[in-house]
C-alpha cells in the first residue's frame, strides 16, 4: 500500500514539475525563434525599401527573392506550437535568408546566446 501511495504522490509531483519546466523551455525557445524571424523580416523589409527605386534586371531578382522571404515569414504559423512542419519551414526561411544575403553580397551571422543576441553584417 505504501509503495503504491508513494508512487502516486511521486508521479503527481513529477507531472507538475514537468509541466512547469516544459512551459519555461517553450517560452525560452519560442522567444529565440521569434527574435530570429523578426530580425529576418526587418532585414527584408529594409532592403525592400532600399531597392524600391532600382529598376534594372539585377535588382529585380533581388526584389523577387526579398518578396519570397517576406511571404514565407508572413505565412509562418507563429500561433500554432503543434504545427508539425515548424522546424522544416524555419529551415526554409533560414535558407532563403542566406540566399538573399548572398544576392545582396552581405555576410550575415545570426547568433543567439545567453549573454547577447545579434545580427551582424
Q: Any idea where the domains of the chain sit in the sequence?
A: 2-104
Q: Is the pLDDT of residue 121 over 50?
A: no
pTM for this entry? 0.73
Name the nearest CA neighbour of 74 among 88, 87, 93, 59: 93
Reported confidence tier of residue 2, pLDDT bands at 50, 70, 90:
confident
Helix, strand, coil share of the chain (percent; to 5): 70, 5, 20
Q: Do 40 and 69 form a contact (C-beta atoms < 8 A)? A: yes
Place of cell 547568433: 111
Reported confidence tier of residue 110, pLDDT bands at 50, 70, 90:
low
pLDDT tens digits along 28-62: 888 898 899 999 999 999 999 998 887 787 788 89
Q: Above pLDDT 90, what percent of the chain?
A: 35
CA–CA separation, 106 and 98 (whole Å) = 9
Amino acid at each position: 500500500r505504501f509503495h503504491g501511495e508513494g508512487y502516486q504522490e511521486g508521479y503527481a509531483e513529477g507531472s507538475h514539475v514537468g509541466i512547469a519546466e516544459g512551459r519555461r523551455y517553450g517560452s525560452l525557445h519560442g522567444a529565440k525563434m521569434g527574435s530570429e524571424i523578426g530580425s529576418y523580416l526587418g532585414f527584408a523589409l529594409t532592403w525592400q525599401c532600399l531597392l524600391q527605386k532600382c529598376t534594372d534586371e539585377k535588382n529585380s531578382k533581388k526584389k523577387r527573392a526579398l518578396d519570397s522571404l517576406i511571404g514565407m515569414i508572413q505565412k509562418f504559423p507563429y500561433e500554432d506550437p503543434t504545427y508539425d512542419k515548424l522546424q522544416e519551414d524555419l529551415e526554409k526561411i533560414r535558407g532563403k535568408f542566406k540566399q538573399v544575403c548572398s544576392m545582396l553580397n552581405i555576410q550575415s551571422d545570426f547568433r543567439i546566446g545567453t549573454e547577447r543576441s545579434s545580427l551582424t553584417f
